[in-house]
Amino acid sequence: MVRALDVAAKVFLVWLLAVALVYPEIGNMEDKAAGARAVAYPLLAFTVPFIWWYRWRERASFPWVADLLVTATCFTDTLGNRMDLYDRIVWFDDWMHFMNTGVLTGAVILLTKQHAATVMETLERGVAFGVTAAVAWEIAEYFAFISTSPERMSAYADTLGDIALGGLGAITAALCVHWCWRQGWLHTAAPQLAGLDRSDRALPVLPARE
């Protein structure tokens, strides 16, 4: 099911972005950096497959859960714009900053931490990545379309709120992943090294080829 959802999310993401790029008014992407999203989102959605193919495929299984989480962040944002939820629902933007930062943080934790990690180690990784990602998104968002938008006059307060929500999402994701590990879940969600016992199958980030 995870594999099917991951593949379907990637296919529909590319389709939605293509429609938004050709017909921005249909995708509700006018003045929302449709071109930048059309480039950045596929690159992000295919980052895990690329790294796995180039660095891990000969020694590790494919991390379907983590890849689905990464793809979901791009897909839900694009779908939210397509359905005009950002403009029709007042709290939707806040929810997306909280949820998508958390989902992406969860993927990074699954890819870079062992399930035996302590709660503080997991939180450290989650906060380090999540807050950095939230700040990076706000910087990209500002230069992509807010700097030329009438909303720029009120952007400061919104930016602070978005960063705070992203940080809370990252903390929530870290605690959820750690709780799942303690329950015995998600132990095989990270890339699994071939030829090792299950308890030793944590994969470091970007291991060098032998």
Q: Which residue has the higher pLDDT, 106 or 149?
A: 106
Please give the biggest Cα pair distance in the chain: 58
Q: Residue type at 154?
A: S
The pLDDT of residue 4 is 97
Nearest to 72 by CA among 140, 3, 5: 5
- Answer yes or no: are the C-beta atoms of 115 and 181 closer than 8 Å: yes
- Give 60's strand partners: 193
SS3 193: strand
Tokens at residue 21, please? 């790029």
- Answer yes or no: are the C-beta atoms of 66 and 110 closer than 8 Å: yes
Tokens at residue 43, please? 């690159």
> Torsion-angle region of residue 104: left (phi > 0), alpha (psi -120 to 50) or beta?
alpha
SS3 60: strand
Per-residue pLDDT at 203 exceeds 80 = no
Give tens-digit pLDDT for 21-73: 888 777 777 777 788 889 999 999 999 999 999 988 888 889 999 999 999 99
Name the H helices within 53-91. Answer: 64-82, 85-88
Give tens-digit pLDDT for 162-195: 999 999 999 999 999 999 999 999 887 766 665 4
197 φ, ψ (degrees, to nearest 5): -65, 150
Residue 208 burial (CB count, 10 A) = 6
Give tens-digit pLDDT for 107-124: 999 999 999 999 999 999
